[in-house]
A and B are shown apart, each in its own frame.
Chain A
Amino acid sequence: MRSIKTVYAFMIYVLLYLPIGVLILYSFNASKFSTEWKGFTLMWYEKLSSNDGLIEAALHSLNIALFSSLLATVIGTLGAVALYRYRFLGKRFLESMVYILIVSPEIVMGISLLMLFSAVQMPMGFWTLLIAHITLCVPFVIVTVASRLANFDQSVIEAAKDLGAEEFTLFYKIVLPMIAPSVIAGFLLSFTLSLDDVIISFFVTGPGYEILPLKIYSMVRVGVKPEINALCTIMFVLTIFVVLLSQFLLKEKK
């Protein structure tokens, strides 16, 4: 039984990483336009190193993804706990709006936010992108955290309350540790959503702040360049490195 489980999990990981492997392979492919193998080259890395626009856009994307997912996680987690624990006027309304946000097509969200920002004359750029991405991510955090809160053992909270604990202390010392896995899951989902969003971002960003997914999607005219494969490979390798390093450091600490 144990080995079957390991094999299954391993297989899923292989499938998840298979396309990434392919793209890494093609970042060394001499073919400019297609997925046929035309020999090994480092040309795309060389070209990438001189393409400041792409590198800048990638950094912008990471910036936005990090900030928006952190803030969305804070708002979403507090929101989910509030919706679960307290009774207040407008609770139903908030719950419905969360579902509406998930279901409303991205283009509708993008255009309506654009109209909103234009109406208040807000310049398009970092801040508008940040707001839009937080709005996109908050419902995903709420739904993930709320699912963990369901069937939550209330007696622990009641006991702590009887002992005179403040609401914030309760949240920080008891609730948060119990829902931590879902908070992390919510953060990871948000980061992923933000890093890959094209349609909403298109409408709410301005000339001062180009982000990577937009740049990639607007290459359709001439085809997505192989430099993108090289860039994705570098970003992927860096991510893996950071993750493994932090795992190693955490182990050392223990």
Chain B
Amino acid sequence: MKSLIMAALLALGLHAANKELVVYNWSEYLPESVLEDFEKESGIKVRYSTYDSNEAMYAKIKTAGGESYDIVVPSTYFVNKMSREGLLAKIDKSKLKNYANLDPKLLGKPFDPKNDYSIPYLWGSTGMSYNAKALGEGAVSAWSDLWKKEYAGKLLLTDDLREVIGMALLSLGYSSNTTNPKEIEAAYTKLTTLIPNVKLFNSESPKGVYISEEVVVGMNFNGENYMANTEMPELRYVYPKEGVLVWVDSLVIPKGAKNIEAAHAFIDYLLRPEVAKTISEEIGYATPNMAAVKLLEPEVAANRIIYPTADDLTKSEFQLDVGEAITIYEKYWEKLKTGN
């Protein structure tokens, strides 16, 4: 009953609006303990709300003008798209004492050249995984290896058109962000010959599929491979020769945020080395916080799956907004899936 009354009060907007921070993030993408410690220290109450894809989050923020969130965590090119459309507020870096902890290699990326709108939170890559027990060490080293005939029906691709077509583009030596229709078509044509190898498309939880040995090779996220290793040490993560796809989830403050002060305080709190370390360890993805990396167990910090070397990333590419060319991608994705 108490919760009912609470619910009614909340719905009527009678709750104390000051000193409350509304965070919009993926579920369980921020350890509960971090939130509690922040609340205790700052006296700011955090309200946590969740979404399951960037696209859904974007549609909601864009449509629901009246709703206000103070912190949102979009991935890579959504930062650029949202700032261009005036959905984001500028971040005042003078209020972030811990800004200097961030790795310069992950700042000033094309989706936000001056980091006016976004502060990196966690980052990772989409590369390849293979089962070394089933295929032998060093079985694959390039995207083009996925096309080998012996992998018929044993392959996993992510269920994301930009990633899959981007991978094919990279294997052909093009940019995964191309807007050239000819190049996209070539990637499609190449992908049609990959279909006999594909057992499934899955972006929800590739690690489970690899662990159960339904597939032995395919695309994967580095964090998923890292987590799978606790139960399946023989799963190897590969940074493909043609280049790996890199993404960053960033903290942003949407326009219309009610509590800009608290939002800055929260971002600064997350940038503390020990906090960033806790987050990275709990969630399983890499922190862009150099000071935090120094605090990590040496074997974690040296793990190439999570913290790749500069060599691993030589040809890496961030996913960028392709604008109207997305309709070309869409057309070929639909063709690929309907087998026409």
Q: Do A and B come from one complex?
A: yes
Q: How far is the CB of A22 from chain B (nearest CB, A)?
A: 14
A250 adjacent to chain B (CB < 8 Å): no
With A126-B8, A208-B11, A210-B48 already in contact, the answer to whether A31 and B65 are too (CB < 8 A) is no
> In the complex, A121→B65 CA distance in Å?
9
B11/A209 in contact, CB under 8 A: yes
A 46-79 binary contact with B (CB < 8 Å = 1; else 0):
0000111100100110010000000000000000
CB within 8 Å for A219 and B26 given contacts A207-B69, A209-B11 = yes
Task: State the CA gap A253–B47 with chains docked (Å).
Answer: 46
List 17 additional A-B contacts (Cβ < 8 Å) besides A32-B231, A216-B27: A33-B227, A33-B231, A53-B32, A63-B4, A121-B66, A125-B10, A126-B11, A198-B52, A207-B48, A207-B67, A207-B69, A208-B11, A215-B50, A218-B26, A222-B29, A223-B205, A223-B224
- Tell me which residues from 23 to 42 in chain A have a Cβ below 8 Å from any Cβ of chain B: 31-36, 38
Does B59 belong to the interface (CB within 8 Å)?
yes
Known: A33-B211, A34-B212, A215-B27. A118 touches B64 (CB 8 A): yes
B327 touches A (CB below 8 Å): no
- Closest CB pairs A-B (n = 7): A218-B27, A218-B50, A126-B11, A207-B49, A218-B52, A34-B211, A221-B26
Instruction: Return chain A residues, CB-CB under 8 Å to B47.
Output: 207-208
Q: B161 to nearest A CB, angstroms?
A: 17
Report how far A208 CA is from B10 CA in the complex, Å: 7
Contact A124 B3 (CB under 8 A): no
Q: Does B196 make an interface contact (CB < 8 A)? A: no
Provide the bound-state CA to CA distance between A198 and B27, in Å: 14
| B contact set with A: CB distance below 8 Å | 3-4, 7-8, 10-11, 13, 15, 22, 24, 26-29, 32, 47-53, 56, 59-60, 63-67, 69, 203-205, 207-208, 211-212, 223-224, 227-228, 230-231, 283-284
How many residue pairs at the A-B interface have CB separations less than 8 Å? 131
Hey, what's the 0/1 contact readout for A120-132 against B, CB within 8 Å counting as 1?
0111111100000
Q: Is the interface of A mostly helix, strand, loop or mixed?
A: loop
- Tell me if A210 and B227 are in contact (CB < 8 A): no
- Most chain B Cβ neighbours within 10 Å, of A217, A221, A225: A221
With contact pairs A118-B66, A127-B11, A218-B50 given, residues A32 and B60 touching in the complex (Cβ less than 8 Å):
no
Number of interface residues of A (CB under 8 A): 48
Find out whether the CB atom of A34 lies under 8 angstroms from the CB atom of B208.
yes
Question: Can you give 9 A-B contacts (C-beta < 8 A)?
Answer: A33-B231, A35-B212, A118-B65, A123-B66, A202-B60, A207-B49, A207-B67, A220-B203, A222-B283
Question: Closest approach, in angstroms, between the C-beta of B193 and any C-beta of chain A?
Answer: 30
- Residue numbers in B under 8 Å from A36 (CB-CB): 211-212, 231
Report Cα–Cα, A126/B5, bound state, in Å. 11
- Chain B, Cβ-Cβ closest to A223: B205
The listed residue with most A CB atoms (<10 A of its CB), out of B27, B29, B32, is B27
Known: A202-B51, A202-B56. A222 touches B28 (CB 8 A): yes
- Quick check: B228 and A33 within 8 Å, CB to CB? yes
Chain B neighbourhood of A207, CB < 8 A = 22, 24, 47-49, 67, 69
What chain B residues lie within 8 Å of A206 (beta carbons)?
Answer: 49, 67
**Which A residues from 123 to 158 make CB contacts under 8 A with B?**
123-127
Check if B11 sits within 8 Å of A225, measured CB to CB. Answer: no
A179 at the interface (CB under 8 A from B): no
If the complex has contacts A31-B231, A216-B27, are A208 and B205 also in contact, measured as CB distance less than 8 A? no
With the chains together, A196 CA to B196 CA distance in Å?
Answer: 35
A130: nearest chain-B partner, CB-CB: B11
Chain B residues with CB below 8 A from A31, complex form? 231
Q: Which residues of B contact A219 (CB under 8 A)?
A: 26-28
